[in-house]
Amino acid sequence: MFFQDRDKQFLTKAIVSELVQALKFKCDMNEHNYMVVLDLILQDAGENVPEEIIDDQYNTAACDAVRPYIFDFIDFISDLHVLTEIKRITNSDSIGGDIKSSVAQIVGVEMSRSGVRDSRTVVNTIIIC
């Protein structure tokens, strides 16, 4: 379907960028879409997610698209008022905690990846929190 691998990455980068904008409350996103995009990222990282697709067929490179936004994710996790804002937008009590825990899992997976050669990024991330 895609002619080159980088064409697949355009779609993934656009989806991850839309997620980050929604987490910053600059645009609206359906509550199911939050979880689908977060599950897409976690599945690309090798984590088990509830909505399983055959991941050996589809390589989305979502983890690579998330790396520039790790500090935005950390800001989202550390914000105390984010749960009330998500509750106001989605009219759901539980989705805010699910979103926040999935984002924290993405940050944890990214920090623990063996591909991170520079430990200063991890140390700076821990100091910020």
Q: Which amino acid is at 85?
A: E
3-state class (DSSP) for residue 81: coil
**Helix or strand (DSSP H, E) at 127:** helix 119-128
Compare 75 and 128 and report the one with higher pLDDT.
Answer: 75
Q: Please tell me the predicted confidence (pLDDT) of residue 116.
A: 55
What is the number of structural domains in the chain?
1
Encode pLDDT of 59-112 as tens digits: 778 888 898 898 899 989 988 888 888 888 888 888 889 999 999 999 988 888
Q: In terms of residue numbers, what domain contains 111?
A: 5-128
Q: How far is CA 27 from the centre of its chain?
A: 16
Predicted TM-score of the model (pTM): 0.81
What's the token pair of residue 47? 């984590």
Name the pLDDT band for 45 (thresholds 50, 70, 90). Answer: confident
Assess whether pLDDT exceeds 90 at residue 18: yes
Torsion of CA 72, 126, 12, 34, to 10 degrees: -60
DSSP string computed for 87-124: HHHH--SSHHHHHHHHHHHHHHHHHH-TT---HHHHHH
Assess whether pLDDT exceeds 80 at residue 3: no
